[in-house]
Amino acid sequence: MKPPSKTTTPQTNTENAPEPRDGESGWYLYGVTLRQTASEVITNQAMDTGEPLLVLEQGKLAAIVRPVRLAEFSAEALQARAQDLVWLEAMVREQNQIVARVHEAGAVLPVKFGSIYSNSEALQAALAAIHDALLAQLQRLQDCDEWGVRLFANRQAMQRLAAEHPALQRHKDELAAASPGRAYLLKRKLADELAAITEEALSHLAQASYARLMRYAVAGQASPRPQKAADGADEREALHATFLVQRANVDGFLEEAQHLAVEQEGLRCAYSGPWPPYSFARLAGEETL
Amino acid sequence: MSSMTIEGAGVESRNVTLLELLDRLIDCGVVLTGDLTISVADVDLITLGLNIVLASVERMEQLRAGGELGRAEGLHDG
């Protein structure tokens, strides 16, 4: 019989696992997965990646961890290092690679960057406290990938979208019927309102596109504030969204994304994926953290 | 046709930008409670530092995009 929780590697048994007890090392947590998935990942891990990944088991769950020196992650050290883009990029790329590897083997709940525990008991207690919720979340994410979709409109497309907007049509009708003096005032008013009308037209486009993509997705979330265009940029981001898509539906989803851009002149769609479900891992009620 | 209008980037590829990664790793992911070494109080500290980096990465990408598009626009005007 296995003990309910233990640290495993292919080479070391529980007793020899480098359990950090000296107050100097801790566990860097990458993600939570099912025990079976974890053992698959650990068994297949390449031997040339520095410190090996380890598994801390708790009930049906397994945490993918790596021992780290706590001094490297002290508040002072991090404050200094957070400014160091090279270090930060290496860290996030490495973390993403590890999480992606687990994701390839099975469902994974990625954890927030920089989740470090001073000892295994603390981590296991944290897992035990919400064991069933984590398990249910893993089941929900089974066979799903995250996809990022961004839709851009160039200046011509924005002008066309604004022109099709009912508000602009009304302005035009008014303008056609106006006296020269009133037409002058109306033109100035229109110039003031054009930006707002364009924003509204873009937001309609985003909502419609999002709804179409959602038909192929389990869940989705759109960024409330798509990236503002840089000064002089020729295109605007209309939609910046992430979707949770079942693998069986990926082809349809990507085809739909492609259609969004092809159907209308001046639109461009960029997608990224398949990602581990970073944006959909949080448990209900945890959004504010 | 498709290559003109849709651009995809596999997660394995180097096309994945640092910004996309930071968006996901720092803004998303499960937060387990407990005896985190980087405890709640300290997380604010880190997030603060990372937000500065994030802002600068975002700014860099915007400048880059603006720069490229600005040049392309210059060609049209000239």
CATH of the domain at A226: 3.30.70.600
Helices A180-214 & A166-177 angle (0-180, nearest 10): 160
Place of tokens 């309910």: A4
Same domain, A25 and A126: yes
- Quote the pLDDT of residue A151: 93
Is residue B25 within 8 A of residue A113, CB to CB? The reply is yes
State the residue range of the domain holding A219.
145-156+197-280
Nearest neighbour of A234 by CB, restricted to B21, B43, B73: B73
More confident residue, A75 or B13: A75
Name the more confident of A178 and B71: A178
Q: Report CB contact under 8 Å: B26, A112.
A: yes
The CA distance from A279 to B55, in Å, is 20
**How high is the mean pLDDT of chain A?**
84
Taking contacts as CB-CB distances below 8 angstroms, the residues of chain A near B25 are 92, 95-96, 110, 112-113, 278
Interface contacts (A, B; CB < 8 Å): 185
Supply the DSSP string of A107-165, one letter for each residue.
-EEEB-TT-EESSHHHHHHHHHHTHHHHHHHHHHHTTEEEEEEEEEEEHHHHHHHHHHS
**Is A218 within the bounds of a domain?**
yes
Tokens of A83: 């400014």
As a whole number of angstroms, the distance between CA B69 and CA A95 comes to 33
Distance CA(B12)–CA(A275), nearest Å, equals 9
Band (pLDDT 50/70/90 cuts) for residue B17 is: confident
Q: Do B69 and A235 make contact, defined as CB atoms within 8 angstroms?
A: yes
Q: Measured between beta carbons, which residues in chain B are less than 8 angstroms from residue A81? A: 49
Number of domains in chain A: 2
DSSP secondary structure string for all residues of A8-47 = E-SS--GGGS----SSSEEEEEEEEEEHHHHHHHHHH--T
User: Are residues A149 and A260 both part of a single domain?
Assistant: yes
A271, part of any domain? yes
* Mean local confidence (pLDDT), A146-175: 90
| Confidence band, pLDDT 50/70/90 cuts, at residue B11 | very low
Query: For residue B22, what are the contacts with CB-CB under 8 A and spacing of at least 6?
Result: A88, A92, B50, B53, B54, B57
Q: What is the pLDDT of residues A87-115, one digit of tens each?
A: 878 888 899 999 999 999 999 999 988 78
Mutate to test the interface with B, among A66, A91, A92 (most CBs of B within 10 A): A92
The verdict on A120 and A220 lying in the same domain is no
Is the domain of A130 the same as that of A149?
Answer: no
Q: How far is A83 from chain B (nearest CA, A)?
A: 6
Domain presence at residue A94: yes
Q: Which of A62-66, B19-23, B66-70 has the lowest mean pLDDT?
A: B66-70
**Is residue A288 a part of any domain in this protein?**
no
Instruction: For residue range A235-248, list pLDDT tens digits in order.
Output: 889 999 999 999 99
Per-residue pLDDT at B42: 44
Is residue A64, in this structure, part of any structural domain at all?
yes
pLDDT for the residue numbered A216: 98
Residues in chain A within 8 Å Cβ distance of B14: none
- Which residue in the block uniquely carries the two structure tokens 């099975």? A106
- The residue ranking higher by pLDDT, A193 or A287, is A193
Residue A232 region, left (φ>0) first, then alpha (ψ -120 to 50), else beta?
left
> Do B18 and A89 count as a contact with CB atoms less than 8 A apart?
yes
Residue of chain A whose Cα is closest to the Cα of B35? A122
Among partner residues B20, B58, B65, which is closest to A148 by beta-carbon distance? Answer: B20
pTM of the model: 0.78
- pLDDT value, residue A8: 45
> What residues 3-62 of chain B have any CB closer than 8 A to a CB of chain A?
5-12, 15-16, 18, 20-22, 24-26, 28-38, 42-43, 45-46, 49-50, 52-53, 56-58, 62
Nearest to A261 by CA among B2, B70, B72: B2
CA dist A269 and B4 (Å) reads 9
Any domain includes A187? no
Could you tell me which chain B residue has the CA closest to the CA of A234?
B69
pLDDT at B48: 46
Record: contact A115-B38, CB cut-off 8 A: yes
The pLDDT tens digits of the residues spanning B27-68 come to: 788 877 654 444 433 444 444 455 555 555 665 666 555 544
Would residue A179 count as lying in a domain?
Answer: no
Best of B4, B28, B45, B54 to substitute, by most chain A Cβ atoms within 10 angstroms, is B28
Most confident of A16-20, A91-95, A183-187, A207-211: A207-211
